[in-house]
Amino acid sequence: MQDNGPRSAGRTVMRPRPKVLNIDCAFLEAPGYEYERRRIESAGAELVLSRAATEDAIIEVCRDANIVLLEYPNTPLTSRVAANLPQCWAIVRYGIGLDNVDVRAFTEHGIVVCNTAEFCVEEVSDHALALLLASARRILPMDRNIRAGGWSDFPQGRPMRRIRNLTLGLIGFGRIARAVARKMSGFRLRILATDPYVAPDPGLGVELVEREVLLRESDLISIHTPLTDETRGSIGESELRAMKESAILVNTSRGAVVDEAALIRALQEGWIAGAALDVMVEEPLPPASPLRTLENVVLTPHYAAQSEESLLDLRTAVADSVEALVRGYWPPFPANPHVVPRIPLKPWSEFRRGAAPA
């Protein structure tokens, strides 16, 4: 592959074998990444495992890396990091969220940023359904009451409604929300969605409405937006007060989309009936968090994406992106498709896994 080099840092020095560096790997032992290693080495590159958690450490280990793999959503890939990666062509994220990556800064430096956008769509949508149904049918209070020696004498609280007679509101209407709509359509309930960037799918029978309408009319509300400057804290006191007192809020996206302090007040003071959360602002959830003790909350530990199949999909998608880049092709899901890359890249549509190097 020909090397154009970054404008600001002179020409990129091409290594005999491109270096692919995992900067925050879950396992430093090689067996945990044997699939990725086989795929990457077969493409003519080398895989190096590291664990760096600060800007300085990331800059130090990545100085000669051509492709950087990113696993965790709290590893800081800031503008300062972007400015100090002279040999880097691309950032490849294990997962969907890019809220810890300054995509604009990497774009300015000619570095492609990509994620695995189709990863865990089935799992997260399944998990959202599980949280919605467990909350609507109050499964956990019944379970706790029976384990404490009771039977049908658990506190009734709000009336239990037939699912079919409820309205589901989806905040965000990307891949996961569409999967939720498809699966929930079997209950034949009304489904609303609000998303300024995505049109509804007529085949799913979803009504596209303004956010204010969705908040006011929905009985079940499920959040499916990425964490951006625009969405951070976007479900705050005014939004929570606009919901029905019988509403249940489910979040499987990012914790910081919701103003957690306002949510706790809403749950304590009865602005809404309940919440089911797979994501929190601070993870792990602090031991002293009131969310741990509220009876009208269902909690899971940021586990919605997990399954044996999804993990295999994730590793395959990362390996596909890396192999494409090493062979001189765009990855399938660039977050900055208009970037001027440091190396020439051919269209992903022309890429064939395992093809001879370009």
Q: Is 283 a catalytic residue?
A: yes
Q: How confident is the model at residue 357 (pLDDT cuts 50, 70, 90)?
A: very low
What pLDDT, on the 0 to 100 scale, is given for residue 7?
40
Q: Is 327 a catalytic residue?
A: no
Closest C-alpha to 49, from 75, 17, 79, 71: 71
Which domains are assigned to the chain?
Answer: 19-119+307-350 (3.40.50.720), 121-299 (3.40.50.720)
Q: Is the pLDDT of residue 104 over 50?
A: yes
* Per-residue pLDDT reduced to its tens digit, 30-74: 567 999 999 999 999 999 999 999 999 999 999 999 999 999 989
Tokens of 174: 């990307």
Bridge partners, residue 167, by sequence: 190
Residue from 283, 295, 309, 350 carrying the catalytic annotation? 283
DSSP per-residue letters across 5-74:
--SSS-PPPPPSS-EEEESB-S--SGGGGHHHHHHHHHTT-EEEE-B--SHHHHHHHHTT-SEEEE--TT
pTM of the model: 0.90
* Per-residue pLDDT reduced to its tens digit, 219-255: 999 999 999 999 999 999 999 999 999 999 999 999 9
Q: Is 80 a catalytic residue?
A: no
Per-residue pLDDT averaged across 326-336, rounded? Answer: 98
Per-residue pLDDT averaged across 333-350, rounded? Answer: 97
Residue from 211, 241, 265, 302 carrying the catalytic annotation? 302
Q: How confident is the model at residue 140 (pLDDT cuts 50, 70, 90)?
A: very high
Q: Is the pLDDT of residue 202 over 90?
A: no
Q: Which residues contact 291 (CB under 8 A, 6 or more apart)?
A: 260, 264, 277, 280, 285, 297, 299
Residue from 138, 224, 254, 315 carrying the catalytic annotation? 254
**Strand, helix or coil for residue 346:** strand
Query: What is the Cβ-side half-sphere exposure of residue 127, based on CA atoms within 13 angstroms?
Result: 27
Q: Is the pLDDT of residue 273 over 80?
A: yes
Tokens of 82: 């972007």
Q: How confident is the model at residue 153 (pLDDT cuts 50, 70, 90)?
A: confident
Cα first-last separation, the chain: 7
